[in-house]
């Protein structure tokens, strides 16, 4: 409540004057007429802000802000300033009409916002095109998304296994900002690896609800992590990070990738089931066929193997039809193995009682 109209008016004017926006244009110097940016020797920016006539008497015609460095996108702003310099040079040599027809020049708009700590400056400009540095003809890098890690597997041009590793990705119990930082670091490490290898990234194209249903039966620990696992956030991070680094990111149908990886590649290359699934994703982008092996046995963990049968093959049916039948046969065995593992982890009541007696005597 306010005691007078003057108090309310003062707060209203203060809130109304907490931000202002300066629109940019590619035709102006450094992409903006009223806020001109120049690059210092240390890479920071110096902003020359044109003051309104009502404030020019008190603050001068221009306000100089030195040492500006944007926490995110600073390189893009520098690239836009370089493009604007090339635009000005090209316009002097070839004329205004030729310069407008070129692809040089970037408009840079600035928004200044006041908060409890002071004024913040935000710059907006178009993203510069980044050259693609990956080639599918060199191979692919498959990534299988899981509740607590990213399983990564690299192949050559023929779809043969090259290298596999896992990147931790535990966001359970973390705040939103902490989870975003963890996801960003994990995705950045995979994208950097793909850029150095010169191979595109392959991720799953599915709804998170389907992925959640596929992971629910693994363990109680994974079930607790599912609530904090954000498939959409990871996928968006891969796409944006890949674009900035010039790394192609493809999405493929992950149908039966875990079953195929378990049956064909898990034991052959000594991979985990998730790394084997990542291998299948990479091979799927390369167009490799996944025929059913002659040995109809699949590992289900702890050195246990399960034999399965394959329906009579018909040319009219897709190979995924047979993998679906195999998946239906392996699912009960995997569930039974999971229940057996949980029973083995339960404490023996006799041993627990003996340990309690020993602790009481001690």
> Domain boundary at 290, 309, 325, which?
290
Q: Helices marked H in the chain — which ranges?
A: 5-16, 53-59, 74-94, 96-101, 176-197, 208-215, 220-226, 231-245, 257-260, 266-269, 273-285, 319-345, 349-361
Does residue 130 sit within a domain?
no
Is the CB of residue 229 less than 8 Å from the CB of residue 149? Answer: no
CA–CA distance, 226 with 206 (Å, rounded to integer): 16
CA 350 centroid distance within chain: 49
* 321 pLDDT more than 90: no
Q: What is the pLDDT of residue 362?
A: 39
Does residue 131 sit within a domain?
no
Q: Domain range for residue 232?
A: 136-290
* pLDDT tier for residue 348 given thresholds of 50, 70 and 90: low
* 249 pLDDT more than 90: yes
Residues 278, 172 share a domain? yes
Does residue 199 sit within a domain?
yes
**Buried b / exposed e along 42-65 (16+ C-beta atoms within 10 A):** eeebebbbeeeeeeeeeeeeeeee
Does residue 3 sit within a domain?
no
Residues 344, 300 share a domain? yes
Please return the burial class of 196, using the count of CB atoms within 10 Å of its CB with bins 0-12, 13-18 and 19+: exposed
State pLDDT tens for residues 24-64.
998 888 999 999 999 998 889 999 999 988 888 888 899 99
Residues 355, 277 share a domain? no
| CATH number for the domain that contains residue 206 | 3.30.420.10
State pLDDT tens for residues 208-228.
565 556 555 555 555 555 555
Residues 361, 299 share a domain? yes
Q: What is the pLDDT of residue 202?
A: 96
> Domain boundary at 95, 124, 153, which?
124
CB atoms within 10 A of CB 124: 14
> Domain boundary at 290, 307, 336, which?
290
Does residue 101 sit within a domain?
yes
Residues 141, 232 share a domain? yes
* 159 pLDDT more than 60: yes
Residues 120, 24 share a domain? yes
CA–CA distance, 156 with 59 (Å, rounded to integer): 64
Residues 261, 337 share a domain? no
Is the CB of residue 183 less than 8 Å from the CB of residue 169? Answer: yes
Q: What is the pLDDT of residue 350?
A: 44
Residues 345, 264 share a domain? no
Residues 153, 240 share a domain? yes
CA–CA distance, 122 with 113 (Å, rounded to integer): 8
Residues 155, 101 share a domain? no
Does residue 273 sit within a domain?
yes
Does residue 8 sit within a domain?
no
Residues 218, 239 share a domain? yes
Smallest CA-to-CA distance from 142 within 44, 282, 343 is with: 282
- Going from the C-alpha of 178 to that of each of 71, 174, 184, 191, 251, the distances in angstroms are 17, 6, 10, 20, 26
Residues 302, 283 share a domain? no
Does residue 315 sit within a domain?
yes
The total number of structural domains that make up the chain: 3
């Amino acid at each position: 409540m306010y005691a007078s109209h003057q108090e309310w008016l003062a707060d209203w004017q203060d809130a109304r004057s907490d931000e202002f926006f300066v629109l940019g244009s590619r035709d102006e110097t450094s992409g903006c007429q009223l806020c001109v940016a120049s690059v210092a020797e240390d890479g920071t920016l110096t902003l020359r802000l044109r003051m309104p006539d009502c404030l020019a008497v008190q603050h001068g015609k221009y306000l100089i802000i030195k040492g500006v460095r944007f926490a995110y996108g600073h390189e893009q702003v520098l690239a836009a300033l370089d493009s604007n310099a090339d635009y000005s040079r090209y316009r002097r040599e070839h004329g205004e009409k030729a310069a407008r027809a070129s692809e040089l020049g970037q408009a840079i708009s600035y928004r200044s916002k006041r908060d409890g700590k002071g004024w913040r400056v935000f710059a907006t400009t178009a993203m510069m095109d980044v050259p693609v540095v990956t080639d599918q003809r060199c191979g692919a890098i498959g990534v299988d998304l899981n509740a607590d890690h990213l399983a990564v597997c690299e192949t050559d041009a023929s779809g043969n296994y090259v290298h596999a590793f896992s990147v931790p990705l535990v966001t359970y119990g973390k705040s939103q900002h902490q989870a975003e930082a963890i996801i960003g670091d994990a995705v950045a490490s995979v994208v950097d690896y793909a850029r150095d290898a010169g191979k595109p990234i392959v991720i799953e194209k599915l709804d998170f609800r389907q992925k959640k249903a596929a992971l629910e039966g693994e363990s109680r620990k994974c079930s607790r992590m599912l609530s904090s696992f954000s498939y959409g956030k990871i996928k968006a991070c891969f796409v944006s990070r890949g674009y900035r680094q010039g790394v192609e990111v493809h999405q493929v149908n992950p149908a039966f990738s875990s079953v195929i990886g378990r049956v064909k590649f898990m034991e052959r290359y000594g991979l985990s089931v998730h790394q084997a699934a990542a291998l299948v994703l990479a091979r799927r982008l390369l167009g490799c066929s996944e025929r059913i092996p002659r040995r109809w046995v699949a590992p289900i963990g702890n050195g246990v193997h399960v034999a399965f049968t394959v329906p009579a093959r018909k040319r009219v049916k897709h190979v995924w039809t047979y993998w679906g039948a195999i998946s239906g046969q392996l699912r009960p065995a995997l569930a039974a193995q999971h229940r057996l593992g949980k029973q083995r982890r339960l404490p023996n009541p006799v041993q627990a009682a003996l340990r309690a007696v020993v602790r009481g005597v001690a």
